[in-house]
Amino acid sequence: MRHMPDDLSATAPAQSPQDPADYRKALACFATSVTVVTSRWQDQDWGMTCNSFSSVSLDPRLVLWSIRKAASSLEAFTQSGGFTVSVLSQSQQGIARQFASGDMASRFANVPVLRQSSQRVRLSGAAAWFDCQIHQLVDAGDHHILIGQVQAFGQQDDASALTYWNSRFGRFEDLPT
């Protein structure tokens, strides 16, 4: 059976594939979780807000996220040997903003963390966390994709994850059945 597309006449015309602003606007329609990724490199903690986090494999346990090649922390994340992903809870919107810019001291200021045996930190109060060794680094356009093999993980059963959609923070709500 051949599947026909829905009637597209009611939708907006396709945008120019050359316009980066329109491309980013289309990507913003994809809702994501909000994470802070941390690493330990040259005796310093490094961290950044990230919404490109995703699971890859259950066996072996693999996750991924991506970092801009122009990021000031690129070397710290790609050369440190590992990273920790903290999936932020709804109460951590301020932390998401704090880790999105500024120097490392400012990002970590007054943020409760737990140091792990890997020497990387995870954020206290996160809905879930994944401590990873770098499994593979993939060159992808203006980003690198970091694939990590999960060494340890955990979650809070009563925490709801912070979400990001259409350039806004939000939360997941069940739909009526």
Confidence at residue 4, expressed as pLDDT on a 0 to 100 scale: 45
Over residues 35-57, the pLDDT tens digits come to 999 999 999 999 999 999 999 99
* Angle made by CA atoms 44, 50, 55, in degrees to the nearest 5: 110
Confidence at residue 3, expressed as pLDDT on a 0 to 100 scale: 43
Nearest to 154 by CA among 119, 124, 120, 134: 124
Q: Specify whether the CB–CB gap between 152 and 131 falls below 8 A.
A: yes
Of residues 101 and 10, the one with the higher pLDDT is 101
17 band by pLDDT with thresholds 50, 70 and 90 = low
Which residues, listed in sequence order, are joined to residue 82 by a DSSP beta bridge? 133
Q: What is 32-163's CATH number, 2.30.110.10, 3.30.499.10, 3.50.50.60, 3.40.50.720?
A: 2.30.110.10
Domain positions in the chain are: 32-163
Mean pLDDT computed over 80-87 = 98
Which residues, listed in sequence order, are joined to residue 171 by a DSSP beta bridge? 162
Phi–psi pair at 28, nearest 5 degrees: -65, -15
pLDDT at 91 over 60: yes
16 band by pLDDT with thresholds 50, 70 and 90 = low
CA distance readout (Å), 54 to 114, 143, 145? 23, 15, 11
Question: Of all helices (H) and strands (E), which one includes residue 98?
Answer: helix 93-98
pLDDT at 159 over 70: yes
pLDDT at 110 over 90: yes
